Amino acid sequence: MATTNDIKNGSVLNLDGQLWSVIEFQHVKPGKGGAFVRTKLRNARSQKTVDKTFNAGTKVEFATVDRRDYQFLYNDGTDFVFMDNETYEQLPIPASVVGDGAKYLLENGTATISMHEGEALQVELPASVVLEITYTEPGLQGDRSSAGTKAATVETGAEVQVPLFVEQGTRIKVDTRTGDYLGRVTD
């Protein structure tokens, strides 16, 4: 058992038989009264987010989570199949665990998967990926980078807002956390 003083971002706590990932935390020492730890937690299975406050020094149980890099192979319709880069074992992961990150998964791309007792808890993609635009409306003569945005469909099927001058076939960098356009990529 550890205490609330050991809490860090990314820690996984076992509270009442449920696994909760620490999104953010703050140690607070008010002028009067005892210190406490204010946290924002995400349920590892349901992805529900809650705020929870602990008294400083309260004992909490940390869960053992194994984080490893996997290579995305394919989507078989119901599950996303990943391969362990060290053992070459294939691991099917339900779409509910992959979440919105599925929009930016490319075959042979890498992802970090958090596992607890053989169960996949979370799939983390790199902060950004490079994708090719498969369809977008043509820009108009005179369009400039500051003139606005238009919708573009990328090779994974996701829709991204891009500047008006970006054309079909262009490779762009996309933020996987927000889905924002980060810039063009020249090889």
Give 114-161 pLDDT, tens digit per residue.
888 888 888 889 999 999 999 998 866 555 555 678 899 999 999 999
Q: Specify the amino acid at residue 69.
A: D
Cβ proximity of 178 and 171 under 8 Å: no
User: What's the chain's average pLDDT?
Assistant: 88
Euclidean distance between CA atoms 33 and 62, whole angstroms: 27
Picking from 124, 146, 163, the residue at the C-terminal end of a domain is 124
The count of structural domains within the chain is: 3
Same domain, residue pair 148 and 119: no
Residues 158 and 143 in one domain: yes
Residue 137 and residue 119 share a domain: no
Q: In this structure, what CATH number is given to the domain that contains residue 112?
A: 2.40.50.140
Whether residues 70 and 117 share a domain: the answer is yes
For β-strands 149-154 and 79-84, DSSP reports them as: unpaired
Other CB atoms within a 10 A radius of the CB of residue 168 amount to 13
Where is 135: in which H helix or E strand? strand 128-136
Question: What is the extent of the structural domain holding 146?
Answer: 129-184
Q: Which pTM does this prediction carry?
A: 0.75
pLDDT digits (tens, 9 = 90+) for 79-117: 999 999 889 999 999 888 888 888 999 899 999 998 888
* The domain boundary residue, chosen from 96, 124, 152: 124
Q: In the chain, at which residue ranges do the beta strands (DSSP E only) sit? A: 2-3, 12-15, 18-28, 36-43, 49-55, 59-62, 66-75, 79-84, 90-94, 110-116, 119-124, 128-136, 149-154, 159-163, 171-175, 181-184
Tens digits of residue pLDDT in 159-172: 999 988 888 999 99
